[in-house]
Structure 1
Amino acid sequence: MRLHPLTSLAAAGSTAVITTAAASWPLSLAVIAAAVGLSAWCGTLRRLLPAAAAVLVPLCLSLLALHGLFFPEGLTVLASWGPARVTTEGLSFALQRAAQLSAAVLALLVFSVSVSVPDLVAALSAKGIQGRIAFVLASTLTLLPAAASRLERIRQAQEARGLVIRHGLLHRITAFRLQAVPLVSALVEEAGTRGAALEARGFGSTGPRTSYREVPDRSLERLLRILLLLAAVAAVAARLWQAGG
């Protein structure tokens, strides 16, 4: 049985909020394991891992560099280079925050790589959200794969015309600079084409709308979405109460 897109979104969002508010090592690791396992079970692991690596690797490295080297509350010094000090407390804090961030990002990415975008647009429109806004919200899920596919085609076309990408970071940066301009131009042109297509299909009209695509929304799932929202609000309230206390 396939879940309603808004139920999947509520589950992913509440999981990210609760994990962040709880700030618990076991919960963060459990969410990470559950996200990877669920993605493998759904057959989307090959799409999840590259996207997660692109987002999490630079963020986690920055957390380790910032808190691992410049943590003011650190007492147990493992190594020091001038003002930079590697402390046990700093590394522990950085790893804990990295686990929280990874859990939240993976929960949201599992939703983004598994949801049906047409069903999401239909579900948002059925809830009264304007068609154009629903399309913009849903199209963000396909922006990264579309840009990656377009960049690959640009690279193949440039290599066919004689571009040679040598090994080394400097050469790759230079090659990316040559590919970035046609990529941005193509995305802007595609945005204009999509805008014209949306206008032709009446996305800008204000009258009553009908949709050929119906997404069933069971009463049990509507109740589940309310419970998930309440759980996220309760987690944030408990965190704020704990911080205030």
Structure 2
Amino acid sequence: MRLHPFTSLTAAGSTAVITTAAASLPLSLTVIAGAAFLAAAGGAGRRMAPAAAGILVPLVLSLFILHGLFFPEGTSVLAQWGPARVTAEGLRFALERTAQLSASVLVLLLCSFTISVPDLVAALSARGVHARFAFVLASTLTLLPAISTRLARIRQAQEARGLVITGGVFRRLAAFRWQAIPLVLSLVEEAGTRAAALEARGFGNSGARTSYREVPDPPLQRRLRPVLLLAAAAAIAVRLWQPTAGA
């Protein structure tokens, strides 16, 4: 069954909120495994992987450096260099936060890489949202997939002209400057082309609009979305209530 765009957004947002509020390592690992499986099954795994790595790698490294070496509550010292102490408690805390953050990022990326922009624009327009605002919102949600696809094309074109990128991660990062300039220029040019196309199609006009694209919204999904939102709100309420109850 194909998900309505609103259902995809609600499911992704609610899952990220619930995972963050629960702060449970088993739940975070389950969400990570589920997001990876759905991405692979939906054919978005290869496109998601670079974006996920670009977001998570620096964040994960910073978490392990900060909490692994400077965790004040740590008592089980594994190694020490002056004020820096590697503690078991710090490593566990960093692992829990890493899993929690990774779960939220992967779920949101999965939604971004799999949601249909035309369906989302049509669904927003059907709810009375202005066409131009609906397009901007949909384009923002799918910005990472668009950049990932464009960067892959630029890399392929440069490799076809003889640019060979070998070596480790640092060599690839150094070579990224040769891809960043054409990436930015192509995105700026595409933005101007899209603006002209939208204006030609009357996206800036006011008044009622009709659309030839109809997005099915099954009753089951319409009933599911409020349940997901209530579950997210309940998770936040429980999280906020726990410290008070413990005190």
Q: Calculate the TM-score normalised by the size of structure 2.
A: 0.89
**Cα distance between partner residues in 2 of 1:121 and 1:14:** 21
- Count of matched residue positions in the alignment of Structure 1 and Structure 2: 245
Deviation at 1:195?
0.9
**Cα distance between partner residues in 1 of 2:178 and 2:199:** 33
Indicate if the aligned counterparts of 2:112 and 2:144 stay in contact, CA closer than 8 A: no
Please identify, of 101-110 and 177-186, the stretch whose mean Cα deviation from structure 2 is larger: 177-186
| CA deviation string 1:177-208 (max 9, x = no partner) | 24322321221111111111111111111201
Q: Which residue of 2 aligns with 1:201?
A: 201
Q: Which residue of 1 aligns with 2:237?
A: 237
Question: Where does structure 2 lack aligned partners over 5 or more consecutive residues?
Answer: none
**Cα distance between partner residues in 1 of 2:180 and 2:53:** 21
Deviation at 1:146?
3.0
Indicate if the aligned counterparts of 2:120 and 2:138 stay in contact, CA closer than 8 A: yes
Please identify, of 190-199 and 41-50, the stretch whose mean Cα deviation from structure 2 is larger: 41-50
Q: Secondary structure at the match of 2:86?
A: strand
Q: Which residue of 1 aligns with 2:55?
A: 55
Taking only aligned residues, the RMSD between alpha carbons, in angstroms, comes to 2.2
Deviation at 1:223?
1.6
Indicate if the aligned counterparts of 2:47 and 2:148 stay in contact, CA closer than 8 A: no
Q: Which residue of 2 aligns with 1:4?
A: 4
Q: Which residue of 1 aligns with 2:23?
A: 23
Deviation at 1:55?
2.0
Question: Where does structure 1 lack aligned partners over 5 or more consecutive residues?
Answer: none
**Cα distance between partner residues in 2 of 1:162 and 1:131:** 43
Distance 1:169 1:226, change over 3 A: closer
Q: Which residue of 1 aligns with 2:179?
A: 179
Please identify, of 122-131 and 95-104, the stretch whose mean Cα deviation from structure 2 is larger: 122-131
**Cα distance between partner residues in 1 of 2:137 and 2:111:** 14
**Cα distance between partner residues in 2 of 1:31 and 1:173:** 30
Percent sequence identity is 72
Deviation at 1:76?
1.0
| CA deviation string 1:22-61 (max 9, x = no partner) | 1111211121122222233333333333332222222112
Q: Calculate the TM-score normalised by the size of structure 1.
A: 0.89
**Cα distance between partner residues in 2 of 1:10 and 1:143:** 19
Amino acid at match of 1:67: H
